[in-house]
Amino acid sequence: MKIPYFPGCTLKTTAKNFEISAIASAKKIGIDFIELDRWNCCGVVSSLTSDDLMKHLAPVRNFLRVQEMNKQGIVENENRMVTLCSMCYNTLSLSNKRMKENADDLQKVNDFMHREEENYKGDVDVVHFLSILDEYGFDKLAQKVTKPLKDLKVASYYGCTLLRPKSVGIDDTEDPKILENFVKALGADAIDWDAKSRCCGSYHTVNNVDIVYRLVQGIVDDAKKNGADAIITSCPLCAFNLDVRQSEIKDKNPDYQTLPIYYFTQLMGLALEIDKQDLGLEFNKIEPEKLLKKLNLLS
C-alpha cells in the first residue's frame, strides 16, 4: 500500500530517529510512505481564533500536494495523508476540519492560493500512523513480530495533541487504549498509569523551562511508580521535553533515576527486526541501549 506522507520540519532534524524507524517499520508490513513533493511547515500549533484564516493556509497547501499525487498516479485513489508527528497531525486535522465544514473559509483560502493549479476540494483525510496500524489490525501486527519485546514494561505517553480536542482525537480523551494495544502487539507489557495524557509543558521549553521540568518530573515519576522501564511517545516536542529536559533534571540531581524515552516506531522496528541503523538510537539522549541489551532485545 502506498500512502502520501507528510513529515514536518522536526522529523528531518532532531526527530530523524522517528522518521527512519517509522519508514522502515511500515515497509516491513507492506506500507510505503511516499513523501509529499514540496511539503511546507504546518505551523506547529493551530490558530484558535475565529478570524485568523491566514494561518490555515500553510496546512491546507499541503493537501493540494496529495491531490496532485493522485492526479499524477504516484498513489492510486489514496486521499489519506499520513503523519507521524502528533502536533502536525493535530494542526493539519483542525485546519482540514475547518475547510470541510465551512465552505466560505475554503473559498477564501482557495482564492488566496490562486497561483496553485487546482483548488483544494476538501476531500483529503489526515491520519496518524497509529490509526493506520489500528486499521491494519494489532492482531495482524503481532503476527509480523519476529522478536517479541518480552518483559519490557512500557508507559504509553499520549500527551495532548493525539487526543485533544475531541473533534480530532484518535482515541478516547480520558481513557485511550490505542498505544497500549500497540505495545501488547509487540509482545511488551503495557503498564497502566495516570500521567499518560498530561501535558509535558510543550513550547514553554523555549522560555519557561521550569514549567517543563516540573511537568516532566511528574510524568516520569508516575511512570516509575507504576513500574515502567521506558516511556514511548509519538510527538517530537514531548520527546525533546521528556528526553533532553529529563537528562537535565538528572544533571542537577545526580541521584535522580531516569527512564529512557523511545518513539513508538523505534520499539516497532525492534520487534520487527529492521536494520539496527534504522532504529536511530544514537539520536536518543538518555542512554537507550542499556535497557534493551539487559532484556536481550538488542545485541
Contacting positions for other proteins (CB under 8 A)? 8-10, 13-15, 41, 43-45, 47-52, 55, 85, 87, 160, 163-166, 169, 173-174, 197-199, 201-208, 211, 214-215, 236-237, 240, 244
Determine contact, residues 28/268, Cβ cutoff 8 Å: no
Minimal distance, residue 271 CB to other proteins, in Å: 26
Instruction: Give the Cα separation of 247 and 230 in Å (integer).
Output: 14
Minimal distance, residue 251 CB to other proteins, in Å: 13
User: 67 or 93: whose CB is closer to other proteins?
Assistant: 93
User: 32 or 52: whose CB is closer to other proteins?
Assistant: 52
Pairing between strand 261-263 and 230-233?
parallel
Minimal distance, residue 158 CB to other proteins, in Å: 11
Task: Compute CA distances 57 → 84, 92, 99, 128, whole Å.
Answer: 21, 10, 10, 21
Residue 277 CB partners (closer than 8 Å, separation 6+) = none
Beta bridge partners of 233: 263
Residues 33-72, buried b or exposed e (16+ Cβ, 10 A)? Answer: beebeebeebbbebbeeeeebebbebbbbbbbbbbbbbee
* Max CA separation in the chain (angstroms): 59
User: 181 or 205: whose CB is closer to other proteins?
Assistant: 205
Residue 255 CB partners (closer than 8 Å, separation 6+) = none
Determine contact, residues 51/166, Cβ cutoff 8 Å: no
User: 84 or 270: whose CB is closer to other proteins?
Assistant: 84
User: 10 or 181: whose CB is closer to other proteins?
Assistant: 10
Minimal distance, residue 81 CB to other proteins, in Å: 18
Minimal distance, residue 119 CB to other proteins, in Å: 25
Minimal distance, residue 69 CB to other proteins, in Å: 25
User: 31 or 94: whose CB is closer to other proteins?
Assistant: 94
Instruction: Give the Cα separation of 149 and 37 in Å (integer).
Output: 36
